[in-house]
Structure 1
């Protein structure tokens, strides 16, 4: 199919009655690029629209668990250190006067290592990978609204502004994948609002030149102390230190809306006060900062549903798919992008009408089956840790018990073997199956 170009009437090159692609993917983050890659790999014509131009910043911890690594491997991406990735062996948890190193579990279904790579580079790598598979990437193309067919009520394309002059253009396709992040512009235009009964997080991060850049563990601080000694004031939230391997570390903190401090916290000041209490030799001081503090919201636990409506599939943050247990979003963006692509391929192989809609309606069912019960457990978890007393109790009495912490690592990172596995795997899998997939 011909590539869409702007016309005087604001339509794509196909005009009002033809399609400019088989699928339009809005957003070239991990979810959008994953969907575009898997779609294009089947031979479909895919138009991938990115509102900014690469390279571009994205607020994230940059840490990838083995769950995300598996998706990269499935896409054929080289995850070796020589290809620019910083590998890690596990998670170090700090809290309750304990420093506990937990290796990533050895499982049949998941690789035994994690990765770190800045989103400034990571997102472009994924988008270019989708391009190599055949997707057509259009940068500096900001989608402003869906195009809705007046007769059917279905979304049949998107309106956008593109190029340096922000020229209006319309692109048409039988299906749209909305991977536009927590702004969720497409979903909001369709009346799909954020669910207030689902958790929401806020995270801030900053890069520093640091001696800890080659740390072989992701580090998570369950307690944020202001000042020294450790008996000083406890701050709300949790923190992380991830070595990037390029001379810098990604340092940040997060806070959940289940804590009473959520509405009245200056997050940049909170980060500054926590970092001031860390050892000065780590280098997390103003003169070592390589950029500003940046923040973003984390929509968790299916906070926006349904994940399919009227020709639009939601993936990643646009569907509120961040893991409530650990704030991880990349793994679920990559996976949901693949699942959306699989459903779309099957749907487009059927005639337009009821048969295609039956195939598309499978997507939200698939999402609930894959993550629904697990995210329900995650919502219970964040309600518990939102209570400072519970959090302090857990840090004091839970961290010194390695067996319990290995169990928590598996459930928080969602890393179990679905068949067989050890007793921990079987217990976690049973809990996930029994939890209601609401």
Structure 2
């Protein structure tokens, strides 16, 4: 039985991850009536590296999220890169567009912080609400809301299905993209797909000020074994623990045959002893997740439905970063919706809503296209090893690589490196 709900809103946001909570916050701050639906209850975990680049930090600053140390954040000053027998520390660049530091915070508390911030701005948050599909107008086919049902913490249904209605719906429902697939929007197999696995360890180096990246992963002792595809990370969280994981990427969405948990175990056998990554210090199992990249699903807006975050494949092919782009998408979507709902005609509303896709593609389309080409080059371990051996000793090259891979460059102006990257992104075809 379907029961009509009385919780109609100006906008419904499905999923209270970074993209959804950012969208809910910005919409509520603009004075809109917002309904934010989340299938789990907070705090809840998500598979992630837990590290935030300066680009993501800038979005948190725009939202007014408290990012002090006493609020559970740890700042990092840049990236420490290890590979090819080299060890290099690369500070985040000094830019006018982004701060010169990154942050880290476990997703169990990070997502809860953002959802609470959206609620404090006026968004109505409904947890344990599993959205089952889009609600469509019978004549036009336009999305006019969603159907949902209450569930318990294990995802079991606890009540009757409910209908929530709104003029526009934001699908921020993650890699499953249930709303998008319900509208027939299938992912593109010619876009990169990443896989990441991670766990947590107690470690005496929990307050290390650098994000650490290992560009070489071996299936035995270095020099006497095979080089494995992928890269590893160690992100200190400042609370006695570190997020430790590894990722790999393919230039297409084809299934990978890599045993990532075995690969992770092999890496841990060779991990630096000073981190103390032992079985006794491991907190929880090694868990994995897919990383949809490079706008692998679209359109970003159509028929009353906007896609934001992982549901639209907004993960960077360069580094697996998704939070910064999810936060950005939430902000841009909220602006388009606010402008659209202020228009006096349906046609005017749709024109304003459509600016969301154009703005996101204008800003990220060329950059993601460069990322697809980058993946085709480095997905072969031999090439990655060659680049690591000969590129790491050259500071200018590594400064270019840091800005390119982290998407931390001045889009206009800046130094020569900034202008080169910005120029390449502008001339690359739209993703």
Shared fold per TM-score greater than 0.5: yes
Give the CA deviation at 1:167: 3.1
Which residue of structure 1 lines up, in the alignment, with residue 334 of structure 2? 341
**What SS does the aligned partner of 2:284 have?**
coil
Partner of 1:30: 18
Match of 1:355 among 348, 373, 376: 348
Residue aligning to 2:261: 268
5 Å-filtered alignment, 1:21-420, equals 21-164=9-152, 165-258=158-251, 263-420=256-413
How far, CA to CA, are the matches of 2:151 and 2:191 in structure 1? Answer: 37
Q: Could you tell me how far apart the structure 1 residues matched to 2:424 and 2:106 are?
A: 34
In structure 1, how many angstroms separate the alpha carbons of the residues matched to 2:280 and 2:362? 48
8 Å contact 1:259–1:386 — kept in the other structure? no
- How far the C-alpha of 1:352 sits from its partner, in A, is 4.7
C-alpha distance in structure 1 between counterparts of 2:217 and 2:196, whole Å: 14
| Number of positions where the alignment pairs a residue of Structure 1 with one of Structure 2 | 426
Q: 1:161, 1:184 → 2: CA distance?
A: 17
State the distance in 1 between where 2:330 and 2:159 align.
Answer: 28
CA contact (8 A) 1:255 1:262 kept: no
Deviation at 1:262, TM superposition (A): 5.9
Distance 1:380 1:276 in 2: 33
Unaligned runs of 5+ in 1: 1-7, 15-19
1:366 counterpart SS class: helix
Contact 1:259 1:387 in 2 (8 A): no
Post-superposition offset of 1:163: 4.6
Unmatched segments (≥5 aa) in structure 2: 153-157
Deviation at 1:433, TM superposition (A): 0.5
1:69-104 deviation line (CA, Å, top 9, x unaligned): 000011111112122101100001111111110000
Asked if the contact 1:256–1:262 (Cα under 8 Å) also holds between the matched residues in 2, the reply is: no
CA distance in 1, matches of 2:396, 2:44: 41
> Equivalent residue for 2:422?
429
Distance 2:295 2:170 in 1: 17
Note the C-alpha offset of 1:280.
3.2
Q: Secondary structure at the match of 2:283?
A: coil
Counterpart of 2:155? none
Measure how far apart 1:255 and its partner are: 1.2
CA shift, 1:229, in A, is 4.0
Instruction: Look up the SS of the partner of 2:82 in the other structure.
Output: strand
* Secondary structure, aligned partner of 2:239: coil
> 3-state SS of the aligned residue for 2:339?
helix
**How far apart are 1:56 and its partner, in Å?**
0.4
Q: Deviations over 1:39-91 (max 9, x none)?
A: 00011000000000001010000000100000001111111212210110000
- Greater Cα shift, 224-233 or 428-437: 224-233
Contact kept? 2:293, 2:313, Cα under 8 Å: yes
Report the aligned-residue RMSD: 1.5
Deviations 1:214-272 (A, max 9, x none): 11110111110233244432112111011111111100011112399962122111111
